[in-house]
């Protein structure tokens, strides 16, 4: 079984763990190293044991990279990112430690192997130097992650439609954003073509790419100020219900029950870790 765990997902920090029987990898490291170490220790994994084979970065914003220097420079875990993102990390005022010799440069669309998985990067539009999504395979297992999505592209649709398991952004509710306290320029940034996806946009996207291969969707990177987990889930699940899909959710600290459902839809918590999801290969 493949293991998946979200350690944190939101504007305050993002970090995900994925593991096969050959090792584990992290996607993004935007929370303190002590938090990463604590959550991994709770499932029997140590950062200094050699089990974590690499850290894969989406883009350079601090909520995705804050601990990249510690992971690479202190724990000597390889850090994979595009050249512009690595260069930004090296000069970031939020990151004190140097990744150093753990730096691994990734070209757009590059295929690479890590922890028993085959990974491929693809471009995700966002107001960053370069934002990668990742499509990850191992045998019949397929997993796609795309976050901080300004607008949807053919590549995002293609890799999402090839996934059995999908992590995708649902950042904001348009009405909460409109009536909220953000200044006008920030509202325009969030809702603009290089900002984030709304609940409605994510719902339409999932309805568009859904096929029987897709078993489980995790909604990630919810805004603290402009979204709410219950609102997000109801907004997106109701759209899928109206398409005739049977949508379920995972109960806390339990494994999902796929029987009798077309799709399991879960909202990832912003500031706490999930249980470990056991996923079929």
In order along its 281 residues, the chain shows pLDDT tens digits of 999 999 999 988 999 999 999 999 999 999 999 999 999 999 999 999 999 999 999 999 999 999 999 999 999 999 999 999 999 999 999 898 999 999 999 999 999 999 999 999 999 999 999 999 999 999 999 999 999 999 999 999 999 999 999 999 999 999 999 999 999 999 999 999 999 999 999 999 999 999 999 999 999 999 999 999 999 999 999 999 999 999 999 998 799 999 999 999 999 999 999 999 999 98
CA distance 229 to 207: 19
pLDDT at 169: 99
CA distance 148 to 151: 9
pLDDT at 257: 92
CATH number for the domain running over 2-279: 3.60.15.10
Q: Which of 105, 88, 150 is nearest to 123 (CA)?
A: 150
At 86, list the tokens.
Answer: 């690595």
At 70, list the tokens.
Answer: 């510690």
């Amino acid at each position: 079984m493949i293991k998946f765990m979200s350690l944190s997902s939101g504007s305050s920090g993002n970090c995900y763990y994925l593991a096969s029987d050959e090792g584990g990898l992290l996607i993004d490291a935007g929370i303190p190293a002590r938090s990463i170490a604590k959550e991994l220790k709770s499932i029997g994994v140590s950062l200094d044991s050699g089990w974590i084979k690499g850290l894969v970065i989406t883009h350079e914003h601090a909520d995705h990279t804050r601990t990249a220097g510690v992971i690479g420079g202190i724990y000597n875990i390889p850090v994979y990112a595009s050249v512009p993102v690595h260069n930004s990390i090296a000069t970031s005022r939020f990151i004190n430690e140097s990744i150093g010799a753990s730096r691994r440069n990734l070209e757009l669309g590059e295929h690479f192997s890590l922890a028993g998985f085959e990974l491929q990067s693809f471009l995700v539009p966002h107001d960053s130097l370069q934002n990668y999504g990742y499509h990850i395979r191992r045998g019949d297992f397929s997993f796609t992650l795309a976050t901080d999505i300004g607008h949807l592209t053919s590549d995002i649709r293609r890799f999402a439609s090839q996934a059995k398991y999908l992590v995708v952004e649902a950042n904001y509710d348009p009405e909460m954003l409109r009536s909220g306290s953000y200044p006008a320029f920030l509202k325009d940034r969030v809702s603009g073509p290089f900002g984030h996806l709304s609940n409605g946009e994510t719902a339409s996207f999932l309805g568009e790419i859904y096929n029987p291969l897709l078993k489980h969707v995790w909604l990630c990177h919810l805004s603290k100020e402009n979204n709410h987990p219950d609102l997000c889930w109801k907004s997106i699940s109701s759209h899928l219900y109206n398409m005739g899909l049977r949508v379920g959710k995972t109960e806390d600290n339990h494994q999902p029950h796929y029987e009798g459902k077309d799709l399991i839809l879960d909202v990832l918590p912003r500031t706490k870790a999930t249980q470990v999801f056991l996923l079929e290969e």
